[in-house]
């Protein structure tokens, strides 16, 4: 089948692909396992590019274990559910040293004089996955799920550099490597900064971020996430156990030889004193690690004793996890300040006497909202109890009543906006207050502007938050419509101080870029213009549905609350918010001025013909006249539907060059017709 589309690979290509694969694997290994850079980024990229090009030219040479897979690109809309061959058990865990002592004494008693030792290792705070290797090749990666069934995340796992795609040296023929995918702190923080800059919600902690990353639909996105795999365990059928050393310590050593990343922080311990010393050490030292841990795991080292110790209902008796308690300190409150968010929500912040906690100095922590403050019943000069657990952000968990000064007065939540002085309001049933001056209160106004130019809204990337602030400070912009009436002469020479304290000036070229980007905004479809307006509760999806339902802004502005609430996914509260937004004459003026500036205020029907009505396509491969997105858009413009995976509902597999072999196989199995580019073009041309 594949030969339909390409010439067989010549020997020279086969040999070069093999050479490149070995070289790149070697450089990757040294870089990620041994922190050694053997070539420049430039040279490395050139080798990888050469490999990718050869694999494109000769798809039969593109193996699932090729280092080119690390770049990702495979898209999975849903993740197949996979039954674990060996259930993924959890460990008994405890926060108490006494229970660790009990575990140790019980184990010794059960083993009744047989000599044995323990291994102590870190309990990585991430997402557990199982990797199946057959004949030394990674064939499947599955999340823990409920322990019996998990999600197939193989494409995403392949992008993680510390997961070997092919093993080295000696290895069992068929086994599963288990471990934890963690998000190292520095990469996590960089990613969250980027998310905030893009207007996306930041992740609460590295564990959630690791989990979210493994579930990304596009593996190329996962490749950017810089995840790390820490291997901690090997599962294999009983009859193959002799292929491995008979201690857990030895097995992890041999895993290292196979190419897995095994953290060096593992210690063989002979008794409870050794174990306690290990726990104590890491309880303090954990803050100096480049990734998060939430405890220590203690295992009987001799694997042949595991069967003898057996299982409880849920977990093995040969291992236990000790979990670290969140660190807690008490420090005096100096002052409560209030922060106004982009949506007007006013958040109280406790400013405290600086205190060392979990590896950083803590000065400020959120008091969340009025309800939370009331519950804590904070008084002047109170000592606050601050905790840092798995989260990086410190949390206020209480007040140290014993240290309260006699006669100290309770602190009240503010009644006015700290930014604009407006009386705050509290929506019924909400935990906090907000400032209703949404068009005049500075953080809210800047928030609107930033939202408006954001990637998912008008996508005007030459206007970042610094430049918007500059325009505001210069008195040029007070609402989103003002942006479209800026004159070149007003922009050139505008100055401000950057966050780093440097003077920034808009030059002629910068001004032209801004004006061009604003002009290009005329191409943005109505649904995104609607989303960009920033109406409370109207998200991307809601805006799309409203745009489709009403077709243009005039019909939307004329709609009653009842009518708005008939739109799919628009509830009573959102309907009321939309109605109130357009009831404000200032907002109507903004809309008029945006319309005058040429922005789309109605849905443009992009339908060209009905030639493909009722047909469902799956697209695969590379096309001569279209990019992948273009061909999908063309299908839709002619009334067809595009789906990402082949099923009995698929009419055609639209196959370009290098069509995916899996897709071909499935199409054949289900009797889905193959359609080539030229035939497709005939179909859409027909009158």
| Active-site annotation, residues | 123
- The bridge status of strand 93-94 relative to strand 319-323 is parallel
Min separation Cβ 432 and ligand IVH, Å:
35
Which has the closest alpha carbon to 303: 264, 260, 256, 251? 251
Q: Of the two residues 66 and 143, which places its CB atom closer to ligand IVH in the complex?
A: 143
DSSP string, 290-301: SS-EEEEEEEES
Q: Please name the helix (run of DSSP H) or strand (run of DSSP E) that holds residue 347, with its range, or none.
A: strand 346-357
Min separation Cβ 288 and ligand IVH, Å:
18
Min separation Cβ 316 and ligand IVH, Å:
5
Q: Residue with the closest Cβ to ligand IVH?
A: 128
Cβ atoms of 442 and 419 closer than 8 Å: yes
DSSP conformational letter for 404: P
Min separation Cβ 274 and ligand IVH, Å:
17
Q: Of the two residues 297 and 477, which places its CB atom closer to ligand IVH in the complex?
A: 297
Q: Of the two residues 224 and 317, which places its CB atom closer to ligand IVH in the complex?
A: 317
DSSP conformational letter for 235: E
Q: Please name the helix (run of DSSP H) or strand (run of DSSP E) that holds residue 120, with its range, or none.
A: strand 118-124
Min separation Cβ 133 and ligand IVH, Å:
17
Q: Of the two residues 178 and 638, which places its CB atom closer to ligand IVH in the complex?
A: 178
Cβ atoms of 320 and 100 closer than 8 Å: yes
Phi-psi group of 534: left, alpha or beta (phi > 0 → left; psi -120 to 50 → alpha; rest → beta): left
DSSP conformational letter for 604: P
Say how far apart CA 178 and CA 234 lie, in whole Å. Answer: 6
Say how far apart CA 114 and CA 100 lie, in whole Å. Answer: 20
Q: Of the two residues 172 and 316, which places its CB atom closer to ligand IVH in the complex?
A: 316
Min separation Cβ 78 and ligand IVH, Å:
24
DSSP string, 141-207: EEE-TTSSEEEB-HHHHHT-TTS-SB--SS--SEEEEEEEEE--HHHHHHHHHHHHHTTPPPPSSHH
Say how far apart CA 244 and CA 426 lie, in whole Å. Answer: 64
Say how far apart CA 71 and CA 222 lie, in whole Å. Answer: 9
Residues of this chain that bind ligand IVH (CB under 6 A): 89-91, 121-124, 128, 180, 232-233, 297, 316, 319, 321
Q: Of the two residues 89 and 601, which places its CB atom closer to ligand IVH in the complex?
A: 89
CB within 8 Å of 46: residues ≥ 6 apart: none
Q: Of the two residues 177 and 619, which places its CB atom closer to ligand IVH in the complex?
A: 177
Say how far apart CA 534 and CA 543 lie, in whole Å. Answer: 10
Min separation Cβ 515 and ligand IVH, Å:
54
Which has the closest alpha carbon to 479: 516, 439, 443? 439
């Amino acid at each position: 089948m594949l030969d339909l589309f390409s010439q067989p690979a010549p020997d020279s290509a086969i040999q070069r692909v093999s050479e490149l694969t070995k070289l790149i694997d070697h450089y990757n290994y040294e870089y990620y396992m041994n922190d050694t850079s053997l070539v420049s980024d430039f040279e490395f990229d050139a080798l990888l590019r050469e490999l990718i090009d050869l694999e494109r030219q000769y798809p039969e040479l593109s193996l699932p274990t090729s280092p080119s897979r690390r770049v990702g690109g495979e898209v999975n809309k849903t993740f197949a559910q996979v039954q674990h061959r060996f259930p993924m058990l959890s460990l008994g865990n405890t926060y108490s040293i006494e229970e660790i002592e009990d575990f140790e004494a019980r184990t010794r008693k059960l083993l009744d004089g047989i000599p044995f030792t323990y291994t102590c290792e870190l309990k990585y705070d991430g997402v557990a996955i199982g990797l199946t290797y057959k004949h030394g090749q990674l064939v499947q990666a599955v999340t823990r799920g409920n322990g019996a069934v998990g999600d197939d995340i193989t494409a995403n796992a392949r992008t993680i550099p510390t997961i070997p795609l092919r093993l080295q040296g000696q290895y069992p023929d068929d086994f599963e490597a288990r471990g934890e995918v963690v998000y190292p702190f520095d990469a996590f923080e960089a990613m969250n900064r980027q998310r905030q800059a893009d207007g996306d919600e930041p992740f609460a902690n590295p564990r959630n971020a690791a989990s979210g990353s493994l579930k990304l639909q596009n593996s190329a996105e996962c490749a950017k996430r810089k995840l790390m795999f820490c291997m901690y365990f090997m599962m294999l059928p009983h009859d193959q156990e002799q292929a491995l050393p008979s201690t857990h310590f030895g097995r992890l050593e041999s895993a290292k030889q196979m190419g897995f990343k095994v953290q060096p922080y593992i210690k063989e311990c002979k008794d409870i004193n050794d174990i306690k010393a290990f726990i104590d050490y890491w309880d303090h030292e954990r803050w100096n690690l480049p990734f998060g841990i939430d405890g220590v795991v203690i295992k009987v080292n001799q694997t042949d004793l595991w069967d003898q110790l057996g299982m409880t209902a849920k977990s093995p008796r040969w291992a236990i996890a000790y979990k670290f308690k969140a660190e807690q300190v008490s420090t005096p409150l100096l002052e409560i300040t209030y922060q106004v968010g982009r949506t007007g929500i006013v958040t109280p912040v406790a400013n405290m006497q600086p205190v060392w906690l979990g590896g950083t100095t803590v000065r400020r922590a959120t008091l969340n909202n009025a309800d939370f403050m009331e519950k804590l019943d904070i008084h002047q000069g109170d000592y606050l109890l601050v905790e840092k657990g798995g989260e990086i952000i410190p949390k206020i968990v209480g007040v140290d009543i014993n240290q309260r000064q006699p006669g100290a007065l309770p602190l009240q939540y503010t009644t006015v906006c700290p930014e604009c002085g407006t009386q705050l309001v509290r929506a019924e049933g909400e935990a906090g207050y907000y400032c209703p001056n949404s068009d005049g209160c500075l953080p809210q106004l800047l928030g609107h502007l930033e939202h408006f130019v954001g990637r998912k809204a008008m996508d005007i990337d030459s206007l970042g938050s610094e430049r918007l602030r500059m325009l505001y400070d210069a008195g040029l912009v007070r609402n989103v419509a003002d942006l479209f009436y800026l004159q070149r002469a007003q922009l050139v020479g505008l100055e401000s101080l950057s966050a780093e304290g440097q003077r920034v000036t808009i030059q002629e070229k910068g001004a032209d870029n801004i004006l061009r980007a604003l002009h290009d905004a005329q191409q943005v479809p109505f649904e995104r213009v609607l989303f960009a307006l920033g109406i409370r509760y109207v998200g991307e999806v809601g805006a799309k549905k409203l745009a489709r339902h009403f077709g243009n802004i005039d019909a939307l502005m004329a709609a009653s609350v009842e009518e708005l609430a008939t739109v799919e996914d628009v509830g009573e509260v959102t309907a009321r918010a939309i109605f109130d937004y357009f009831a404000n004459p200032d907002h109507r003026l903004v809309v008029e001025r945006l319309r005058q500036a040429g922005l789309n205020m109605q849905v443009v029907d992009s339908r060209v013909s009905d030639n493909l009505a009722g047909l469902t396509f799956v697209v695969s491969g590379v096309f001569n006249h279209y990019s992948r997105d273009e061909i999908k858009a063309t299908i839709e413009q002619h009334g067809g539907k595009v789906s990402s995976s082949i099923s009995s509902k698929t009419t055609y597999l639209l196959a370009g060059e290098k069509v995916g072999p899996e897709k071909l196989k499935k199409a054949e199995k289900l009797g889905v017709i193959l359609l080539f580019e030229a035939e497709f073009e005939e179909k859409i041309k027909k009158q």
